Protein backbone atom coordinates (compact mmCIF):
# COMPACT_ATOMS: atom_id res chain seq x y z
CA UNK A 1 0.00 0.00 0.00
CA UNK A 2 1.28 3.51 -0.76
CA UNK A 3 2.51 5.48 2.24
CA UNK A 4 0.19 8.19 3.46
CA UNK A 5 1.41 11.64 4.42
CA UNK A 6 0.54 12.68 7.96
CA UNK A 7 -1.25 16.02 8.21
CA UNK A 8 0.89 18.90 9.46
CA UNK A 9 0.94 19.13 13.22
CA UNK A 10 -0.58 22.07 15.05
CA UNK A 11 1.74 24.46 16.89
CA UNK A 12 1.04 26.89 19.72
CA UNK A 13 2.74 29.29 22.09
CA UNK A 14 1.53 31.20 25.11
CA UNK A 15 0.57 34.80 24.46
CA UNK A 16 2.61 37.50 26.14
CA UNK A 17 1.01 39.79 28.71
CA UNK A 18 0.28 42.58 26.22
CA UNK A 19 -0.93 40.14 23.55
CA UNK A 20 -3.27 38.51 26.08
CA UNK A 21 -4.74 41.87 27.10
CA UNK A 22 -5.52 42.71 23.46
CA UNK A 23 -6.83 39.21 22.74
CA UNK A 24 -9.21 39.37 25.70
CA UNK A 25 -11.18 42.18 24.05
CA UNK A 26 -10.76 40.98 20.47
CA UNK A 27 -9.43 44.44 19.57
CA UNK A 28 -8.92 44.85 15.80
CA UNK A 29 -6.55 47.07 13.87
CA UNK A 30 -8.46 48.58 10.95
CA UNK A 31 -7.21 50.16 7.71
CA UNK A 32 -9.53 51.23 4.94
CA UNK A 33 -9.79 53.33 1.82
CA UNK A 34 -12.30 53.95 -0.96
CA UNK A 35 -11.51 52.93 -4.54
CA UNK A 36 -12.75 54.42 -7.81
CA UNK A 37 -12.71 52.52 -11.09
CA UNK A 38 -13.06 48.90 -12.23
CA UNK A 39 -12.17 46.44 -9.46
CA UNK A 40 -11.17 42.87 -10.26
CA UNK A 41 -12.86 40.89 -7.48
CA UNK A 42 -11.12 37.65 -8.40
CA UNK A 43 -7.71 39.33 -8.24
CA UNK A 44 -8.55 40.80 -4.84
CA UNK A 45 -9.68 37.40 -3.54
CA UNK A 46 -6.43 35.81 -4.74
CA UNK A 47 -4.44 38.61 -3.12
CA UNK A 48 -6.13 37.88 0.22
CA UNK A 49 -5.29 34.18 -0.18
CA UNK A 50 -1.69 35.16 -0.90
CA UNK A 51 -1.49 37.01 2.42
CA UNK A 52 -2.67 34.01 4.44
CA UNK A 53 -0.17 31.76 2.65
CA UNK A 54 2.67 34.24 3.07
CA UNK A 55 1.80 34.97 6.72
CA UNK A 56 0.50 31.74 8.34
CA UNK A 57 -0.03 33.65 11.60
CA UNK A 58 -3.12 35.19 9.91
CA UNK A 59 -4.75 31.74 9.98
CA UNK A 60 -4.13 31.27 13.72
CA UNK A 61 -6.75 31.10 16.45
CA UNK A 62 -6.51 32.19 20.07
CA UNK A 63 -7.42 29.40 22.46
CA UNK A 64 -7.43 29.02 26.24
CA UNK A 65 -6.32 26.22 28.51
CA UNK A 66 -6.74 25.73 32.23
CA UNK A 67 -3.48 26.61 33.98
CA UNK A 68 -3.49 23.32 35.90
CA UNK A 69 -3.48 21.38 32.61
CA UNK A 70 -0.25 23.04 31.50
CA UNK A 71 2.49 22.18 33.93
CA UNK A 72 5.17 23.47 31.55
CA UNK A 73 3.90 27.04 31.53
CA UNK A 74 6.88 29.42 31.39
CA UNK A 75 6.97 31.38 34.62
CA UNK A 76 8.02 34.51 32.71
CA UNK A 77 4.77 34.30 30.75
CA UNK A 78 2.60 34.17 33.87
CA UNK A 79 -0.56 36.10 33.02
CA UNK A 80 -2.45 35.53 36.27
CA UNK A 81 -5.87 33.94 36.52
CA UNK A 82 -6.83 30.31 35.96
CA UNK A 83 -6.54 30.24 32.17
CA UNK A 84 -3.61 30.66 29.81
CA UNK A 85 -4.18 32.19 26.36
CA UNK A 86 -2.41 30.59 23.41
CA UNK A 87 -1.77 31.52 19.81
CA UNK A 88 -2.47 28.27 17.93
CA UNK A 89 -1.62 27.50 14.33
CA UNK A 90 -3.42 24.47 12.89
CA UNK A 91 -2.92 24.00 9.12
CA UNK A 92 -6.04 21.84 8.98
CA UNK A 93 -8.32 24.79 9.80
CA UNK A 94 -9.70 26.87 6.91
CA UNK A 95 -7.95 30.16 6.18
CA UNK A 96 -9.90 33.45 6.02
CA UNK A 97 -11.01 34.56 2.55
CA UNK A 98 -12.34 37.79 1.04
CA UNK A 99 -15.68 38.76 2.56
CA UNK A 100 -18.49 40.54 0.68
CA UNK A 101 -22.19 41.35 1.14
CA UNK A 102 -21.88 42.73 4.66
CA UNK A 103 -21.59 46.15 6.30
CA UNK A 104 -18.94 48.36 7.88
CA UNK A 105 -19.95 47.50 11.46
CA UNK A 106 -19.44 43.79 10.79
CA UNK A 107 -16.20 44.43 8.91
CA UNK A 108 -14.74 46.32 11.89
CA UNK A 109 -16.21 44.26 14.74
CA UNK A 110 -13.98 42.77 17.48
CA UNK A 111 -12.71 39.25 16.82
CA UNK A 112 -14.63 36.60 18.78
CA UNK A 113 -12.87 33.86 20.73
CA UNK A 114 -11.50 30.85 18.85
CA UNK A 115 -12.23 32.45 15.45
CA UNK A 116 -10.07 33.70 12.56
CA UNK A 117 -8.02 36.78 13.46
CA UNK A 118 -7.91 38.38 10.02
CA UNK A 119 -10.53 39.65 7.59
CA UNK A 120 -10.62 41.65 4.38
CA UNK A 121 -14.03 42.99 3.45
CA UNK A 122 -15.18 44.47 0.14
CA UNK A 123 -18.08 46.92 0.49
CA UNK A 124 -19.53 47.72 -2.92
CA UNK A 125 -21.19 51.13 -3.17
CA UNK A 126 -21.64 51.21 -6.96
CA UNK A 127 -20.19 49.56 -10.06
CA UNK A 128 -17.04 51.70 -9.91
CA UNK A 129 -16.94 52.70 -6.25
CA UNK A 130 -15.86 50.34 -3.48
CA UNK A 131 -14.53 50.45 0.05
CA UNK A 132 -11.99 47.86 1.17
CA UNK A 133 -11.57 47.25 4.91
CA UNK A 134 -8.66 45.24 6.29
CA UNK A 135 -8.89 44.15 9.92
CA UNK A 136 -6.34 42.10 11.83
CA UNK A 137 -6.32 41.23 15.53
CA UNK A 138 -4.21 43.73 17.47
CA UNK A 139 -2.72 40.79 19.39
CA UNK A 140 -1.02 39.77 16.11
CA UNK A 141 -0.03 43.14 14.72
CA UNK A 142 0.57 46.84 15.29
CA UNK A 143 0.18 50.00 13.24
CA UNK A 144 3.50 49.56 11.47
CA UNK A 145 3.02 45.95 10.35
CA UNK A 146 -0.67 46.48 9.58
CA UNK A 147 0.21 49.25 7.12
CA UNK A 148 2.86 46.99 5.58
CA UNK A 149 0.23 44.25 5.25
CA UNK A 150 -2.17 46.64 3.52
CA UNK A 151 0.59 47.63 1.12
CA UNK A 152 1.30 43.95 0.47
CA UNK A 153 -2.40 43.33 -0.25
CA UNK A 154 -2.42 45.89 -3.06
CA UNK A 155 0.96 44.78 -4.36
CA UNK A 156 -0.41 41.26 -4.72
CA UNK A 157 -3.66 42.57 -6.20
CA UNK A 158 -1.77 44.51 -8.86
CA UNK A 159 0.32 41.45 -9.69
CA UNK A 160 -2.79 39.29 -10.12
CA UNK A 161 -4.62 41.96 -12.10
CA UNK A 162 -1.73 42.45 -14.53
CA UNK A 163 0.20 39.14 -14.58
CA UNK A 164 -0.80 35.55 -15.29
CA UNK A 165 2.10 33.93 -13.44
CA UNK A 166 2.66 35.65 -10.07
CA UNK A 167 5.34 34.39 -7.70
CA UNK A 168 5.22 34.31 -3.92
CA UNK A 169 8.21 34.53 -1.58
CA UNK A 170 8.77 31.87 1.06
CA UNK A 171 6.20 32.00 3.87
CA UNK A 172 7.03 33.48 7.25
CA UNK A 173 7.12 31.46 10.47
CA UNK A 174 3.60 30.65 11.73
CA UNK A 175 4.31 31.63 15.36
CA UNK A 176 6.58 34.69 15.64
CA UNK A 177 8.35 35.17 18.96
CA UNK A 178 6.64 37.64 21.29
CA UNK A 179 8.54 40.94 21.37
CA UNK A 180 8.41 41.12 25.17
CA UNK A 181 10.70 38.07 25.29
CA UNK A 182 13.44 40.07 23.53
CA UNK A 183 13.29 42.81 26.17
CA UNK A 184 13.01 40.52 29.19
CA UNK A 185 16.34 38.94 28.28
CA UNK A 186 18.07 42.33 28.77
CA UNK A 187 17.31 42.68 32.48
CA UNK A 188 17.86 40.69 35.64
CA UNK A 189 15.10 39.85 38.08
CA UNK A 190 16.54 42.43 40.49
CA UNK A 191 16.43 45.13 37.77
CA UNK A 192 12.72 44.48 37.30
CA UNK A 193 12.02 44.41 41.06
CA UNK A 194 13.75 47.76 41.57
CA UNK A 195 11.93 49.28 38.59
CA UNK A 196 8.53 48.14 39.86
CA UNK A 197 9.21 49.56 43.32
CA UNK A 198 10.18 52.91 41.79
CA UNK A 199 7.05 53.05 39.63
CA UNK A 200 4.68 52.14 42.41
CA UNK A 201 6.19 54.71 44.76
CA UNK A 202 5.68 57.44 42.16
CA UNK A 203 2.15 56.23 41.36
CA UNK A 204 1.03 56.60 44.98
CA UNK A 205 2.17 60.24 45.19
CA UNK A 206 1.30 61.67 41.76
CA UNK A 207 -2.26 63.01 41.22
CA UNK A 208 -4.21 61.08 38.63
CA UNK A 209 -5.10 62.69 35.29
CA UNK A 210 -8.71 63.62 34.63
CA UNK A 211 -10.69 62.08 31.78
CA UNK A 212 -13.96 62.60 29.99
CA UNK A 213 -16.98 61.19 31.84
CA UNK A 214 -18.44 58.08 30.21
CA UNK A 215 -21.88 59.58 29.56
CA UNK A 216 -23.08 56.61 27.48
CA UNK A 217 -22.48 54.20 30.37
CA UNK A 218 -25.08 53.40 33.01
CA UNK A 219 -24.94 52.18 36.59
CA UNK A 220 -24.73 48.66 35.20
CA UNK A 221 -21.62 49.41 33.15
CA UNK A 222 -20.93 50.43 29.56
CA UNK A 223 -23.71 50.79 27.05
CA UNK A 224 -24.19 47.55 25.08
CA UNK A 225 -23.74 49.43 21.79
CA UNK A 226 -20.80 48.38 19.65
CA UNK A 227 -18.48 50.23 17.33
CA UNK A 228 -17.05 53.71 17.61
CA UNK A 229 -17.93 57.31 16.86
CA UNK A 230 -15.56 58.35 14.06
CA UNK A 231 -14.75 61.96 13.21
CA UNK A 232 -12.33 62.91 10.39
CA UNK A 233 -10.21 66.05 10.12
CA UNK A 234 -7.88 66.77 7.24
CA UNK A 235 -4.86 68.98 6.66
CA UNK A 236 -3.96 69.76 3.07
CA UNK A 237 -0.27 69.71 2.02
CA UNK A 238 0.25 73.43 2.71
CA UNK A 239 -1.32 73.18 6.18
CA UNK A 240 0.70 70.04 6.90
CA UNK A 241 3.93 71.80 5.94
CA UNK A 242 3.04 74.72 8.21
CA UNK A 243 2.20 72.29 11.02
CA UNK A 244 5.50 70.43 10.62
CA UNK A 245 7.54 73.64 10.34
CA UNK A 246 5.90 75.08 13.46
CA UNK A 247 6.88 71.99 15.45
CA UNK A 248 10.46 72.11 14.14
CA UNK A 249 10.88 75.82 14.95
CA UNK A 250 9.66 75.11 18.48
CA UNK A 251 12.25 72.32 18.79
CA UNK A 252 9.65 69.68 19.31
CA UNK A 253 7.96 67.10 17.05
CA UNK A 254 4.71 67.12 15.05
CA UNK A 255 3.48 64.22 17.17
CA UNK A 256 4.10 66.13 20.41
CA UNK A 257 2.23 69.17 19.06
CA UNK A 258 -0.61 66.87 18.02
CA UNK A 259 -0.71 65.62 21.61
CA UNK A 260 -0.90 69.25 22.74
CA UNK A 261 -3.86 69.85 20.42
CA UNK A 262 -5.62 66.77 21.76
CA UNK A 263 -5.05 67.76 25.38
CA UNK A 264 -6.44 71.25 24.76
CA UNK A 265 -9.55 69.75 23.18
CA UNK A 266 -10.05 67.45 26.17
CA UNK A 267 -9.59 70.38 28.55
CA UNK A 268 -12.19 72.37 26.63
CA UNK A 269 -14.69 69.53 27.02
CA UNK A 270 -14.04 69.13 30.74
CA UNK A 271 -14.24 72.85 31.52
CA UNK A 272 -17.39 73.29 29.41
CA UNK A 273 -19.00 70.57 31.49
CA UNK A 274 -17.83 72.39 34.63
CA UNK A 275 -19.53 75.56 33.37
CA UNK A 276 -22.75 73.70 32.56
CA UNK A 277 -22.92 72.35 36.12
CA UNK A 278 -22.02 75.75 37.58
CA UNK A 279 -24.77 77.53 35.66
CA UNK A 280 -27.39 75.36 37.33
CA UNK A 281 -26.31 76.30 40.88
CA UNK A 282 -27.67 79.04 43.12
CA UNK A 283 -25.45 82.14 43.47
CA UNK A 284 -24.35 81.03 46.95
CA UNK A 285 -23.43 77.50 45.80
CA UNK A 286 -21.75 78.93 42.73
CA UNK A 287 -19.49 81.10 44.89
CA UNK A 288 -18.50 78.11 47.01
CA UNK A 289 -17.83 76.02 43.91
CA UNK A 290 -15.65 78.75 42.38
CA UNK A 291 -13.47 78.74 45.50
CA UNK A 292 -13.10 74.95 45.39
CA UNK A 293 -12.88 74.59 41.59
CA UNK A 294 -11.85 77.85 39.89
CA UNK A 295 -13.11 78.27 36.33
CA UNK A 296 -9.61 79.07 35.09
CA UNK A 297 -8.02 76.16 36.93
CA UNK A 298 -5.29 73.98 35.49
CA UNK A 299 -6.52 70.54 34.49
CA UNK A 300 -4.18 67.61 34.96
CA UNK A 301 -4.34 65.41 31.84
CA UNK A 302 -2.50 62.41 30.51
CA UNK A 303 -1.69 61.46 26.92
CA UNK A 304 -0.65 57.95 25.85
CA UNK A 305 1.70 57.57 22.88
CA UNK A 306 2.22 54.24 21.05
CA UNK A 307 5.90 53.62 20.32
CA UNK A 308 7.19 51.38 17.54
CA UNK A 309 9.60 48.91 19.17
CA UNK A 310 11.05 47.53 15.94
CA UNK A 311 13.95 50.02 15.70
CA UNK A 312 14.77 49.37 19.39
CA UNK A 313 15.54 45.71 18.76
CA UNK A 314 18.86 44.23 17.63
CA UNK A 315 18.70 43.49 14.81
CA UNK A 316 15.81 45.81 14.01
CA UNK A 317 12.57 43.98 13.28
CA UNK A 318 11.31 44.40 9.68
CA UNK A 319 8.17 46.49 9.19
CA UNK A 320 6.34 43.60 7.53
CA UNK A 321 7.03 41.13 10.37
CA UNK A 322 3.56 40.41 11.75
CA UNK A 323 3.76 40.57 15.53
CA UNK A 324 2.61 43.04 18.17
CA UNK A 325 5.76 45.18 18.48
CA UNK A 326 4.50 48.36 20.12
CA UNK A 327 4.27 49.81 23.59
CA UNK A 328 2.85 52.99 25.06
CA UNK A 329 4.50 55.68 27.07
CA UNK A 330 2.73 58.58 28.71
CA UNK A 331 3.02 62.29 29.28
CA UNK A 332 1.15 63.77 32.24
CA UNK A 333 0.94 67.55 32.62
CA UNK A 334 -1.17 70.40 33.92
CA UNK A 335 -3.02 72.15 31.09
CA UNK A 336 -3.73 75.84 31.74
CA UNK A 337 -6.22 78.09 29.89
CA UNK A 338 -3.41 80.14 28.31
CA UNK A 339 -1.43 77.14 27.04
CA UNK A 340 -0.92 76.68 23.30
CA UNK A 341 -0.40 73.40 21.41
CA UNK A 342 3.28 74.31 21.02
CA UNK A 343 3.68 74.97 24.77
CA UNK A 344 2.16 71.61 25.56
CA UNK A 345 4.06 69.93 22.74
CA UNK A 346 7.36 70.97 24.31
CA UNK A 347 6.32 69.49 27.63
CA UNK A 348 5.06 66.28 26.02
CA UNK A 349 8.28 65.88 24.04
CA UNK A 350 10.37 66.44 27.18
CA UNK A 351 8.62 63.54 28.91
CA UNK A 352 8.52 61.22 25.89
CA UNK A 353 12.20 61.79 25.13
CA UNK A 354 13.11 60.99 28.73
CA UNK A 355 11.15 57.73 28.65
CA UNK A 356 12.75 56.72 25.35
CA UNK A 357 16.33 57.52 26.33
CA UNK A 358 16.66 56.60 30.02
CA UNK A 359 15.71 52.94 29.59
CA UNK A 360 12.39 53.32 31.38
CA UNK A 361 10.35 52.16 28.39
CA UNK A 362 12.50 49.07 27.82
CA UNK A 363 12.27 48.09 31.49
CA UNK A 364 8.50 48.62 31.46
CA UNK A 365 8.15 46.23 28.51
CA UNK A 366 10.23 43.61 30.32
CA UNK A 367 8.05 44.04 33.42
CA UNK A 368 4.70 43.88 31.61
CA UNK A 369 3.51 40.60 33.21
CA UNK A 370 3.74 42.26 36.63
CA UNK A 371 2.46 45.64 35.41
CA UNK A 372 -0.68 44.72 33.49
CA UNK A 373 -3.07 45.32 36.40
CA UNK A 374 -1.66 48.79 37.09
CA UNK A 375 -1.73 49.67 33.40
CA UNK A 376 -5.36 48.61 33.03
CA UNK A 377 -6.37 50.64 36.08
CA UNK A 378 -4.32 53.77 35.30
CA UNK A 379 -6.53 56.66 34.13
CA UNK A 380 -5.46 58.45 30.96
CA UNK A 381 -7.20 61.28 29.10
CA UNK A 382 -6.51 60.39 25.46
CA UNK A 383 -4.24 58.26 23.27
CA UNK A 384 -2.54 59.84 20.25
CA UNK A 385 -0.91 57.66 17.59
CA UNK A 386 1.28 58.92 14.74
CA UNK A 387 2.58 55.50 13.62
CA UNK A 388 0.79 55.94 10.29
CA UNK A 389 1.80 59.54 9.68
CA UNK A 390 4.36 58.54 7.05
CA UNK A 391 1.98 56.34 5.05
CA UNK A 392 1.76 57.42 1.45
CA UNK A 393 0.74 55.64 -1.76
CA UNK A 394 -0.08 52.00 -2.45
CA UNK A 395 0.49 50.21 -5.77
CA UNK A 396 -2.62 50.04 -7.97
CA UNK A 397 -3.04 48.98 -11.59
CA UNK A 398 -3.98 51.56 -14.27
CA UNK A 399 -7.59 52.74 -14.13
CA UNK A 400 -8.01 52.22 -10.39
CA UNK A 401 -7.53 55.15 -8.00
CA UNK A 402 -7.87 55.40 -4.24
CA UNK A 403 -8.92 58.09 -1.79
CA UNK A 404 -6.58 58.71 1.18
CA UNK A 405 -6.52 55.74 3.50
CA UNK A 406 -7.29 55.95 7.18
CA UNK A 407 -6.83 53.56 10.05
CA UNK A 408 -7.50 53.11 13.73
CA UNK A 409 -7.84 50.66 16.58
CA UNK A 410 -10.95 51.09 18.75
CA UNK A 411 -9.95 51.65 22.40
CA UNK A 412 -11.22 48.78 24.56
CA UNK A 413 -12.24 51.09 27.43
CA UNK A 414 -13.30 54.66 28.23
CA UNK A 415 -10.49 56.39 26.37
CA UNK A 416 -10.71 58.65 23.29
CA UNK A 417 -8.06 58.09 20.62
CA UNK A 418 -6.62 60.23 17.84
CA UNK A 419 -4.86 58.64 14.84
CA UNK A 420 -2.88 60.46 12.15
CA UNK A 421 -2.26 58.97 8.69
CA UNK A 422 -0.30 60.60 5.85
CA UNK A 423 -1.97 61.11 2.47
CA UNK A 424 -0.44 60.63 -1.01
CA UNK A 425 -0.33 64.38 -1.69
CA UNK A 426 1.61 65.16 1.48
CA UNK A 427 -1.40 66.03 3.61
CA UNK A 428 -2.50 64.52 6.88
CA UNK A 429 -5.75 62.81 7.88
CA UNK A 430 -6.72 62.81 11.55
CA UNK A 431 -9.28 60.30 12.82
CA UNK A 432 -10.86 60.82 16.23
CA UNK A 433 -12.29 57.62 17.73
CA UNK A 434 -14.58 57.35 20.78
CA UNK A 435 -16.14 53.97 21.72
CA UNK A 436 -19.95 54.11 21.61
CA UNK A 437 -20.11 51.91 24.71
CA UNK A 438 -18.76 54.81 26.77
CA UNK A 439 -19.34 58.08 24.92
CA UNK A 440 -22.30 59.83 23.35
CA UNK A 441 -22.40 61.30 19.82
CA UNK A 442 -22.49 64.77 21.39
CA UNK A 443 -19.25 64.10 23.26
CA UNK A 444 -17.58 62.86 20.07
CA UNK A 445 -18.69 65.90 18.11
CA UNK A 446 -17.72 68.30 20.89
CA UNK A 447 -14.23 66.85 21.10
CA UNK A 448 -13.88 66.95 17.30
CA UNK A 449 -15.06 70.58 17.21
CA UNK A 450 -12.54 71.56 19.88
CA UNK A 451 -9.73 69.76 18.11
CA UNK A 452 -10.65 71.40 14.81
CA UNK A 453 -10.77 74.84 16.43
CA UNK A 454 -7.27 74.59 17.89
CA UNK A 455 -5.94 72.99 14.72
CA UNK A 456 -7.25 75.82 12.53
CA UNK A 457 -5.71 78.41 14.83
CA UNK A 458 -2.37 76.63 14.61
CA UNK A 459 -2.17 76.17 10.84
CA UNK A 460 -3.82 79.44 9.80
CA UNK A 461 -2.27 81.81 12.34
CA UNK A 462 1.43 81.62 13.22
CA UNK A 463 1.54 80.89 16.98
CA UNK A 464 3.11 83.42 19.32
CA UNK A 465 6.32 82.24 20.93
CA UNK A 466 6.28 82.23 24.72
CA UNK A 467 8.79 81.05 27.28
CA UNK A 468 7.57 77.52 28.09
CA UNK A 469 6.57 76.58 31.60
CA UNK A 470 8.96 74.19 33.35
CA UNK A 471 7.93 70.70 32.21
CA UNK A 472 6.08 68.54 34.69
CA UNK A 473 7.72 65.37 35.98
CA UNK A 474 7.13 62.29 33.81
CA UNK A 475 4.16 60.24 34.96
CA UNK A 476 4.53 56.75 36.34
CA UNK A 477 3.62 53.52 34.67
CA UNK A 478 4.89 53.87 31.12
CA UNK A 479 3.97 50.70 29.32
User: Do 259 and 336 belong to one domain?
Assistant: yes
pLDDT, tens only, 52-102:
999 999 999 999 887 655 544 444 444 455 688 999 998 888 999 999 999
Residue 138 within a domain: yes
> Domain range holding 172?
11-177
User: Do 320 and 344 belong to one domain?
Assistant: yes
Residue 263 within a domain: yes
Residue 68 within a domain: yes
The domain that holds 227 is classified in CATH as 3.30.559.30
Residue 466 within a domain: no
pTM of the model as a whole: 0.84
The domain that holds 100 is classified in CATH as 3.30.559.10
Domain boundary among 149, 177, 205: 177
Q: Do the Cβ atoms of 74 and 13 come closer than 8 Å?
A: no
User: Do 101 and 246 belong to one domain?
Assistant: no
User: Do 336 and 294 belong to one domain?
Assistant: yes
CA distance 417 to 409: 8
User: Do 130 and 261 belong to one domain?
Assistant: no
Q: What is the dihedral of CA 89, 93, 96, 102, to 10 degrees?
A: -130
pLDDT at 293: 53
pLDDT at 379: 81
| Total number of domains constituting the chain | 2
Per-residue pLDDT of the chain (479 residues; tens, 9 = 90+): 455 555 567 889 999 888 988 898 899 999 999 999 999 999 999 999 999 999 999 999 999 887 655 544 444 444 455 688 999 998 888 999 999 999 999 999 999 888 899 999 999 999 999 999 999 999 999 988 999 999 999 999 999 998 766 677 778 877 888 888 888 888 888 888 888 888 777 766 678 899 999 998 876 666 555 789 999 999 989 999 999 999 999 999 999 999 999 999 999 999 886 554 444 555 654 454 455 455 567 899 999 999 999 988 888 889 889 999 988 888 999 999 899 999 999 999 999 999 888 888 888 888 887 776 666 667 889 999 987 767 667 788 889 999 888 899 998 789 999 999 888 788 889 999 999 989 999 999 999 999 999 999 998 854 443 333 433 333 333 32
Domain boundary among 127, 145, 177: 177
User: Do 147 and 219 belong to one domain?
Assistant: no
pLDDT, tens only, 421-439:
888 788 889 999 999 989 9
pLDDT at 371: 74
Residue 170 within a domain: yes
User: Do 154 and 199 belong to one domain?
Assistant: no
User: Do 147 and 212 belong to one domain?
Assistant: no
Residue 348 within a domain: yes
User: Do 269 and 389 belong to one domain?
Assistant: yes
User: Do 277 and 352 belong to one domain?
Assistant: yes
Residue 472 within a domain: no
Q: Do the Cβ atoms of 423 and 230 come closer than 8 Å?
A: no
User: Do 210 and 228 belong to one domain?
Assistant: yes
Domain boundary among 156, 177, 198: 177
Residue 474 within a domain: no
User: Do 421 and 362 belong to one domain?
Assistant: yes
Amino acid sequence: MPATTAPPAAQQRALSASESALAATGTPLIISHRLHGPLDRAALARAVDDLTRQHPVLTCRITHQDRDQNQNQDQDQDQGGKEVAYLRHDPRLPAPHLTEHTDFETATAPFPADAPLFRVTLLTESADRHQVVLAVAHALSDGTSCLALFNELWTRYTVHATSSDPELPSPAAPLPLAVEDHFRARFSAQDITDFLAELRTTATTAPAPERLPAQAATEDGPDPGTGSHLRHLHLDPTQTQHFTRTAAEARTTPHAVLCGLALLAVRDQLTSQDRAVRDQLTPQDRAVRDQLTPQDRAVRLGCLTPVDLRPRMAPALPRDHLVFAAATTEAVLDVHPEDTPVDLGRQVWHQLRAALTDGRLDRAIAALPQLMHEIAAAPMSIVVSSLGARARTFPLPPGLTAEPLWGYSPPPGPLPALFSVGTPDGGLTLLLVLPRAWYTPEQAQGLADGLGHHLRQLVETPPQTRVPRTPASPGAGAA
